[in-house]
Amino acid sequence: MSEESKRRLSEGLARLQAELENLEADEATRQRLGDLARRVERQLEAGGEESHDSLLKELEAELLRFEVEHPRLTAILNDIMVALANMGI
């Protein structure tokens, strides 16, 4: 995994955390997204112990849920998915 890929993913995760702090959504949604962000962070640190397919499917599902109501969040999740894909995850 290149340093550039790690940097882009870290930046995406930081933007996601910032967006979650200001997100107007119910607590369950905020919790689900926060948990997902932490899983991506663990994936980055561990270097691949968690199922990549499962993680990408969850990111895609969240992306679809928020596409209309939260376009900024959608863009951030999409950036994270692209960074993971570029890393071969």
Q: Given the structure tokens 């979650």, which residue do they identify? A: 20
- The domain segmentation of the chain, as residue ranges, is 3-86
Percent of the chain with pLDDT over 90: 0
In this model, does residue 47 exceed pLDDT 70? no
Q: pTM for the whole thing? A: 0.65
Decide: 2 and 89 in contact? Cβ < 8 Å.
no
63-72 tens-digit pLDDT: 787 787 788 8
Spatial separation of the C-alpha atoms in residues 27 and 8, rounded to whole Å: 28
